[in-house]
Amino acid sequence: MTRIAMSWFDMEDWLKALITVLGDGSFRAAVPAAAKAELRERAAAVGRRSQLAAWVGQLAAVLDNEQLVVLDPHARRGYALTMSGVGDNFQLHILLADRLIGDPGRDLLSGVRPDRSWVEAATDGDPQLGPGNPAIRRFRVFDGHGAYIYPEGVPADIKPLDGTRVLVLHPANGNFGMGIGRVFRHMTPALVLDRVLEPHEVDSWLSRIAPAVQKDIMATG
């Protein structure tokens, strides 16, 4: 029994070390996909009993140099982006709003841009925003199969469509906020807007996506 107890405490020390190194993009790139999958599996086995294990599992699932297609079916606009080092979907919400909301004359989306402090919290500033300045999402996001993308989830959970993770934007329908910009303080994300999709590309993607199944708490009708 003593050995079991000691191994638990030893595990916590190893988990702390893993959290540190997995926050580094060059380290993640050097870890084989099979090893990351095993880490996620083993972390999931004890994740309910150890927050550190849950974080290790989340870090092992982080996507790097991941190609995204983002569509706004209402504006009939689309974008190609490359994502690295994003810890959860709410952080992705903030970064998407920062990259895509702007001057419609420059093929960006109309709307209220996120507060600069939210973007800094989601990037490399103090991640804690507090109850007085929560980051408010600017849209609800669905995948290409019509499933709602929960802000509490991670980008790796987004099911690809034809080999690409597709994000479909819908109106926010109210205020949904979070008091933290990113989960992993020492992991700096990157979300690069590579290009605006051509109209024929947007039409092609829109013809392939499934209708959004709007059953989330902010759905209307």
How far apart, in whole angstroms, are the C-alpha atoms of residue 40 and residue 79? Answer: 30
Query: Where a domain ends, among 60, 82, 107?
Result: 60
18 and 123: one domain? no
How far apart, in whole angstroms, are the C-alpha atoms of residue 128 and residue 198? Answer: 38
Residue at 217 is within a domain: no
Closest CA to 85 of 135, 26, 161, 32: 26
167 and 70: one domain? yes
Q: Average pLDDT of 116-122? A: 98
94 and 55: one domain? no
pLDDT of residue 217: 75
Residue 64: count of CB within 10 angstroms of its CB: 14
Kind of pairing between the strands at 66-72 and 165-171 = parallel
Q: What separation, in Å, do the N-terminal and C-terminal C-alpha atoms of the chain show?
A: 56
How far apart, in whole angstroms, are the C-alpha atoms of residue 67 and residue 69? Answer: 7
φ/ψ of 134, rounded to 5, equals: -70, 145
CB 149, CB 212: distance < 8 Å: no
- Tell me the pTM: 0.91
56 and 70: one domain? no
Helices (H) and strands (E) in the chain, counts: 7, 7
pLDDT of residue 46: 81
70 and 25: one domain? no
Query: Where a domain ends, among 12, 32, 60?
Result: 60
Residue at 70 is within a domain: yes
pLDDT, one tens digit per residue, over 154-211 is 999 999 999 999 999 999 988 889 999 999 999 999 999 999 999 999 999 999 999 9
pLDDT, one tens digit per residue, over 34-54 is 999 999 998 988 878 889 999
pLDDT of residue 8: 54
Q: How far is CA 24 from CA 12, 55, 87, 149, 156, in A?
A: 19, 14, 12, 26, 17
Tokens of residue 87, six digits: 């810890």
159 and 98: one domain? yes
Domain range enclosing 201: 66-208
Q: Average pLDDT of 111-115? A: 96
52 and 112: one domain? no
pLDDT at 13 over 90: no
Q: Average pLDDT of 59-88? A: 98
pLDDT at 4 over 70: no
37 and 78: one domain? no
15 and 51: one domain? yes
Alpha carbon 9 to its chain centroid, in Å, reads 31
pLDDT, one tens digit per residue, over 76-103 is 999 999 999 999 999 999 999 999 999 9
φ/ψ of 192, rounded to 5, equals: -105, 125
Query: Where a domain ends, among 60, 85, 105?
Result: 60
Q: pLDDT-based confidence at 104, cuts 50/70/90?
A: very high
89 and 189: one domain? yes
User: CA 95, 99, 104: angle at the middle one, nearest 5?
Assistant: 140
User: CA 211, 153, 116: angle at the middle one, nearest 5?
Assistant: 95
Q: How far is CA 42 from CA 15, 32, 51, 153, in A?
A: 11, 16, 13, 19
pLDDT at 29 over 80: yes
47 and 141: one domain? no
pLDDT of residue 221: 46
87 and 177: one domain? yes
